[in-house]
Amino acid sequence: DGGITQSPKYLFRKEGQNVTLSCEQNLNHDAMYWYRQDPGQGLRLIYYSQIVNDFQKGDIAEGYSVSREKKESFPLTVTSAQKNPTAFYLCATPSGTTNTGELFFGEGSRLTVL
Amino acid sequence: QKEVEQDPGPLSVPEGAIVSLNCTYSNSAFQYFMWYRQYSRKGPELLMYTYSSGNKEDGRFTAQVDKSSKYISLFIRDSQPSDSATYLCAMTTTGRRALTFGSGTRLQVQP
């Protein structure tokens, strides 16, 4: 089945450590997005990529890094510079054939910093 | 001030009730409007999509957009316990790269 796979589902990290969240899609979509979700704050855009080898900062990119070396993969690294990394991280790709903004989300990765 | 405002709830209703969920927004350029449903510890799933003003109905769900008031609504008829989830509104305009989300309203339908 076509879709988005995020891993790991749950992750614990000690302060000062970098951690990489995986996002893989088999939908053959060019665009991919990373959102962060905190309780009561909705979803906020971290980074997005419209095409391989290109990505742009979103609204809250500080303390995060990404790469887009393959069309199907868009990993997110949460660095030690991110002040409050505990959150639910969601990867997404456009769900329609038209550029109307609809997104299809993965199941998410919950990161907890101990 | 946030571009999109949404009451966080929680909203608790008895099974069979009509539920009304709402969002207001400040950017008059928004023209594509969506409602997502998110179950606990899961990714959001698209529920309804509307372009510009008007109504759209899909089964028990109706989405309304009033661009003159910058106000969108989602109505759920004959609500079921399985409708218990967080509902997120989202919107965008041509040329924007990503959606702007509301903070979500948590709905609980009591059996």
Q: How many residues does chain A have?
A: 114
Please identify among residues 36-75 of chain A the ones whose CB lies closer than 8 Å to any CB of chain B: 40-45, 48, 50, 56, 58
Question: Is residue A97 over pLDDT 60?
Answer: no
For B32, the closest chain A residue by CA position comes to A100
The C-alpha atoms of residue B77 and residue B75 are separated, in whole angstroms, by 6
Chain B segment 40-69 residues within 8 A of A by beta carbon are 41-46, 49, 51
* Cross-chain Cβ contact A50/B90 below 8 Å: no
For B61, the token pair is 């769900």
In chain A, which residue ranges form alpha helices assigned H by DSSP?
A: none
Selected residue of B56, B94, B101 to mutate for chain A interface (largest A Cβ count, 10 A):
B101
For strands A4-7 and A19-25, give the pairing: antiparallel
> Residue B65: its pLDDT value, please?
96
Whole-number percent of chain A with pLDDT over 70: 94
Select from B109, B101, B108, B86 the least CA-distant residue to B25. Answer: B101
Confidence band of A98 (pLDDT split at 50, 70, 90): low
Predicted local distance difference test score (pLDDT) of residue B108 = 97
**Burial zone of B103 (CB within 10 Å; 0-12 exposed, 13-18 middle, 19+ buried):** buried
CA–CA dist B49, B72 (Å, integer): 11
Residues A76-88 have a mean pLDDT of: 93
Q: Would you state the pLDDT for residue B12?
A: 97
What pLDDT sits at residue B1? Answer: 74
Instruction: Provide the mean pLDDT of chain A.
Output: 91
Structure tokens at B31: 């023209």
Give pLDDT tens digits along chain B (111 positions): 789 999 888 999 999 999 999 999 999 999 999 999 999 989 999 999 998 888 999 999 999 999 999 999 999 999 999 999 999 999 998 777 688 999 999 999 999
Task: Give the residue, A99 or A78, on which the prediction is more confident.
Answer: A78
On chain A, the residues whose CB falls within 8 A of the CB of B97 are 48, 50, 56
Tell me what pLDDT residue A101 has.
74
Least CB–CB distance from B43: residue in A42, A50, A108: A108
Kindly list the residues from chain B whose CB atom is less than 8 angstroms away from the CB atom of residue A43.
44, 88, 90, 99, 101
B111 vs B95: CA distance, rounded Å: 44
